[in-house]
Amino acid sequence: MNYSDILKIQNVLYCFDFINTSCAKKTRSVVSLTTMYVFMFGSIILTVGGNMVVIISISHFKKLHSPTNLLIVSLAATDFLLGLVVMPFSMVRTIESCWYFGDLFCTIHTCCDIMLCTASIFHLCFISIDRYYAVCQPLHYMSKITPSVAEGFVFISWSIPGVFAFGLVLSEIHLDGIQDYVTSITCTGFCSLIFNQIWGVMCSLITFFIPGTVMVGIYVHIFTVANKQAKQIDTQKTMSMHESKGCNKVPQKKEHKAAQTLSIVMGVFILCWLPFFILTIADPFLGFSTPEDLYNAALWLGYFNSTFNPIIYGLFYPWFRKAFINIITGKIFSKGSSSLNLFPSDI
């Protein structure tokens, strides 16, 4: 009696009932299935809708056309595509514990998953560089971070993750030394990315830990400089109230608030993705013993980062809230709406 016969005797459900090589399907209660689908589908709607609002806002309103916002709209595009192309299929795979979409699309889905998640961290890294010049070297910001430089940042943020993701998956270099294990667990309806020990570490370092460390260092320096500038503003205020209000306080306070907001975006990213990358490194060294539900929970926590970003914009950016109101009320279709000033007079 083979393993397949034993499973049938135990009344185990299959992904494909009439295929002998089908994967076993995880049994869940109706309440559990409904709750998971509602929660994940709601997250997908928020991810796609929220990031679409960011894209429309920055693209439509001319006052928002800047190098920083070019990076932000490109980041929103990665989050939007993650919610549209990756998360729906991951939702079915997570809940049903089966892949119903074929081997070819499994490969494409895996490549897009890695590419978009890596592109997000690259965007955040370049955004931190942009904020460094805006806060720490404001006099050189316009000459250093030009539109062409921002476009170069965007190109790198898309091209390198794309080459890395498709090159890694299609070459199957991440499976060197563990082919026998992969063969033993592969069945019809299986679609999961597995790393050997070397590439589990390498992928996590390249896509998360090294860029994340760079960003933390940059933002620590930014806040150090921001605190010094704040003290200087207080000193100038006592010397000349009019001068500090009229010349220095507003623009510096604006940059400090932008740096703070973007650092929160970065912090949320690290908190969301850290558990996943820790598991990615640890799992090969633990004999691939990580429970499937734990791995999926860490993966979806990472996906939720793309859901949180537009929410953060709504909480901390007044211009985003005004743009959102103009969009949902249909005012963006009125003549001259693209020239509206979304920035408050008092920042």
Determine which of 17-21, 33-37, 234-238, 328-332 has the lowest per-residue pLDDT on average. Answer: 234-238
Question: What one-character-per-residue DSSP string does 177-216 give?
Answer: T-HHHHHHH--BT-------HHHHHHHHIIIIIHHHHHHH
Determine which of 117-121, 185-189, 250-254, 268-272 has the lowest per-residue pLDDT on average. Answer: 250-254
Q: CA-to-CA distance for 294 and 282, rounded, in angstroms?
A: 13
Q: What is the mean pLDDT of the chain?
A: 85
User: How many Å separate Cα 224 from the centre of its chain?
Assistant: 27
pLDDT, tens digit, 9 for 90 and up, residues 57-74: 999 998 888 998 999 999
Residue 287 has which token pair? 């004999």
Give the rounded percent of residues in the chain with a pLDDT score beyond 90.
54
Mean pLDDT (whole number) for 158-169: 95
- What pLDDT is recorded for position 254? 57
Mean pLDDT (whole number) for 96-118: 95
Confidence of residue 8 (pLDDT cuts 50, 70, 90): very low
The candidate with the shortest Cα–Cα distance to 165, out of 205, 118, 111, is: 111
Q: CA-to-CA distance for 181 and 178, rounded, in angstroms?
A: 5
What is the length of the chain? Answer: 347
Q: CA-to-CA distance for 274 and 204, rounded, in angstroms?
A: 10
This prediction's pTM: 0.86
Q: Are 284 and 336 in contact (CB under 8 A)?
A: no
Residue 160 confidence (pLDDT) above 70: yes
Residue 9 confidence (pLDDT) above 50: no
- What pLDDT is recorded for position 239? 61
Mean pLDDT (whole number) for 326-336: 86
Q: What's the CATH number of domain 33-334, 1.10.10.10, 1.10.1060.10, 3.10.105.10, 1.20.1070.10? A: 1.20.1070.10
- What pLDDT is recorded for position 218? 87
Helices (H), the chain: 3-9, 30-60, 67-81, 87-96, 103-136, 138-144, 147-171, 179-185, 197-204, 210-239, 241-243, 249-285, 292-316, 318-328
- If phi over 0 gives left and psi between -120 and 50 gives alpha, with beta otherwise, what is residue 84? alpha
Question: What one-character-per-residue DSSP string does 237-289 give?
Answer: HHH-HHHIIIIIHHHHHHHHHHHHHHHHHHHHHHHHHHHHHHHHHHHHHTTS-
Domain boundaries, the chain: 33-334
- What pLDDT is recorded for position 333? 87
Residues near 179 by beta carbon (within 8 Å), at least 6 away in sequence:
none
- What pLDDT is recorded for position 238? 60
- What pLDDT is recorded for position 146? 92
- What pLDDT is recorded for position 73? 94
Confidence of residue 309 (pLDDT cuts 50, 70, 90): confident
Confidence of residue 247 (pLDDT cuts 50, 70, 90): very low
Confidence of residue 246 (pLDDT cuts 50, 70, 90): very low
Confidence of residue 262 (pLDDT cuts 50, 70, 90): low
Give the rounded percent of residues in the chain with a pLDDT score beyond 70.
85
Residue 284 confidence (pLDDT) above 90: yes
